[in-house]
Amino acid sequence: MMFECFIDIANILRMKHVNKRSHKLLELGTAFPEHVVVPREWLVSQGFEDDRLSRFVSSGYLVRVGRGLYAKPLGAISWDARDSILSNAPSWRVALNSVLLTSATPIAVAGYSALWLQNLAHYVSDFQDSSVTVTTPAAIPKWMSSMTSVTWRQLDSKKLFSGRAGDPDAGEIFHLGRHELEMALVGTGLEIFGFGQTQSWCLISSPERALVEWASLLKTQDDWEHLIDVVEGMGTLRPHLLTAMLIACRSVKAKRAVLWTAREYGRSWYKPVVAKIDQIDLGSGARQLIKGGVFDHEYKITVPRRENSEPTQYA
């Protein structure tokens, strides 16, 4: 009789262990989808201890795809040792989609990379999946910076913009629908890219925000010529959004460069923007943005020398 009692107790304990394991497997199944990669720290924060992660790996429920980085078996198939995606989504898309789930800090494609993806670049084939500009108010996660298949060029959104554009805390947005996403991003200058078309959707700077971001990076004559080529083809910018981005922008260089280029190349959106120029802080004093350029007296900047113009020297 006592022996049978011990057997019953053992069975009860075994069933409790099985039920607990099954519960954790169920939690793992719903914690994240097949198409993302997740860092160890995030899994631990969701209640999956290191010893349980090791058991999941040994049982084939999880796969290590990098140092401290995990994926489900189907996702791991498309994420090879070089972190490059073998399916139809490049690794940077998978990374940016994954970080929407695992990080409280939003990271978005920015600058020229964003313009190219939205078919606003002058050159069709000059974007490379191996180098992507992103904007974020904090450092990108270590697992992203250690990827070998892509180089991230990071713009500090807090340094470049004030307000929600600089610190776009949109909350937990991974599971939101399109309308909820759009509402969460109001005032940030960020938009959703690829939503409903691919699992690996991501955040992206709007054309208006991306133009300002790109202008903040101008250095060489080639940079300026490239900007001019792109602006000449940008006939559909939204004046109210560009104005908002210029008001929020902290870079005097970027603001003056955008306004000068729009004025010089006759963009229809220039007049509505400049009508509110009193709200845009353009700073004071002359700025030499390019050596050997021509001085523009309205925006007090040196700009690329054009035909029949002479370079201006100033103190």
What DSSP character marks residue 284? S
Report the phi/psi class of residue 86: left, alpha or beta, with left for phi > 0 and alpha for psi in -120 to 50: alpha
Residue 60: pLDDT band by 50, 70, 90 thresholds?
A: confident
Q: Whole-angstrom distance between the N-terminal and C-terminal Cα of the chain?
A: 102
Place of tokens 């990080």: 103
Written as six digits, the tokens of 43 are 């899994």
What would the pLDDT profile of 159-186 be if each residue is shown by its tens digit? 999 999 998 876 678 778 888 888 889 9
Cα gap 48→107, rounded to integer Å: 25
Q: In whole angstroms, give the CA distance from residue 278 to residue 226.
A: 28
pLDDT tens digit sequence for 221-232: 888 988 998 998
Report the relative pairing of strands 190-193 and 202-205 from DSSP bridges: antiparallel
* Count of other CB atoms within 10 angstroms of residue 185: 21
pTM: 0.84
Q: Which amino acid is at 169?
A: D
As a whole-number percent, the residues of the chain with pLDDT over 90 amount to 39
Domains and CATH numbers, the chain: 2-77 (1.10.10), 91-205 (no CATH), 219-227+239-303 (no CATH)
